[in-house]
Amino acid sequence: MSAALLVRTLRDPASVAGLDASGWNGLIAAARAERLIGTLAFRLADVAVPPAVMPILSDARADAAREARQALWEADRAAQALGALGVRVVLLKGTAYAAAGLKAGQGRFIGDLDILVPVEAMAAVEQALIAAGWEWVKDDPYDDAYYRQWMHELPPMIHATRDRMIDVHHTILPLTARQTPDAAAMIADAVPLGDGLYVLSSEDRVVHAVAHMLADGDLQGGLRNLWDIHHLLADTDPDIVIARAARHGLLPHVQQARRLAAALYSPGARLTLWDRLIRARLLARDGWGRETRKALIFAFFLRSHWLRMPPLMLARHLWTKWRKGHRPS
């Protein structure tokens, strides 16, 4: 299992000393598939590796540096577009880690720009972004209505000339989820970076990363999310994290993430049966970068919908998407 090899290498970079060519091929393929190749490249920066591996890792570091630069530029453009509104614009996930210079951001893949703004400012933010050149990606009325009624974010937008996506959130979980985090408190406690941009407090960063990984979604990219959490936890006061997680209704999730991070990226932890299932899902990747354990992956895909929607709503949603020709990959 190459995902397991990837995890071992991130935990203990010196362990690559014994790898043969096929081990390296599996490690690199798994790291690319999990979008952890940049992170791996930083972890191995001071470790002796075979000559053929060196350019692969230095390419990955250069790509990560470019992604961070582009992400910060997008954040700057969003700040510029939203500056006149006078609302707090809170950077989330990869862009936030890069902007705040966090260890979790080192080599991290950064996709879209994710921002959190107060729910009452959503309409104004949407108008300001459109005026500054962002436009809608989805032209399907059902998807658009679904986002606006049930999701925690606007439908995704893309900038017409820079071709970069922005996700505008007003809270950190879909409105249909069982938990209702206190987004207003998160925004109130956010830490200023200057230029009208903020990042979440170190404890809320953990809560958000955990909510994203364990209370939403199907654990695609879970190894990367857990790597973030592993480093974000190191910057926090454990008691404040517990209090914060409880306030947002996510204490069990945060405790579980702590156990998983300790089991995978630290010496170890006692895992429950449910933890072990998640670990099996996280490690479902072979030496060619392919997903394994298809049934388990599909079960987590189903669970992600179950988490987001009550049964009747789920049935109606799946029926609508099916008629539109959507099939799970």
Site for other proteins contains 63 (CB under 8 A): yes
CB of 302 to other proteins, least distance (A): 19
- Binding other proteins (rule: CB under 8 A), the pick from 14, 21, 188, 315 is 21
The span of 16-24, 96-104, 223-231, 244-252 binding other proteins (CB under 8 A) equals: 16-24
Question: Minimum distance between the CB of residue 257 and other proteins, rounded to whole angstroms?
Answer: 29
Smaller CB separation from other proteins, 20 or 239: 20
Residue 29 binds to other proteins (criterion: CB under 8 A): yes
Please state the closest distance from residue 60 (CB atom) to other proteins, in A. 9
The reply to whether 139 sits near other proteins by the rule CB under 8 A is: no
Which residue of 12, 14, 48, 59 would you call a contact of other proteins, by CB under 8 A? 59
Which CB, 22 or 320, lies closer to other proteins?
22
* Candidate list 1, 4, 45, 56; residue touching other proteins; CB under 8 A: 56
Among 5, 16, 33, 250, binds other proteins (CB under 8 A): 33
Q: Which of 290, 316, 324, 326 binds other proteins (CB under 8 A)?
A: 290
The verdict on 55 binding other proteins (CB under 8 A) reads yes
How many Cα atoms sit within 13 Å of 161 on the Cβ side?
4
C-beta closer to other proteins: residue 29 or 110: 29
Nearer Cβ to other proteins (55/268): 55
Q: How far is the CB of 22 from other proteins (least distance, A)?
A: 7
* Near other proteins by CB under 8 A: residue from 14, 15, 48, 50: 50
Three-state DSSP string of the chain: CHHHHHHHHHHCHHHHHHCCHHHHHHHHHHHHHCCCHHHHHHHCCCCCCCCCHHHHHHHHHHHHHHHHHHHHHHHHHHHHHHHHHCCCEEECHHHHHHHCCCHHHCCCCCCCEEEECCHHHHHHHHHHHHHCCEEECCCCHHHHHHHHHHCCECCCEEECCCCCEEEEECCCCCCCCCCCCCHHHHHHCCEEEECCEEECCHHHHHHHHHHHHHCCCCCCCHHHHHHHHHHHHHCCCHHHHHHHHHHCCCHHHHHHHHHHHHHHHCCCCCCCHHHHHHHHHHCCECCCCCECCHHHHHHHHHHHHHHHCCHHHHHHHHHHHHHCCCCCC
Sites of contact with other proteins (CB under 8 A)? 20-22, 24-25, 28-29, 32-33, 50, 52-53, 55-56, 59, 62-63, 66, 288-290, 329
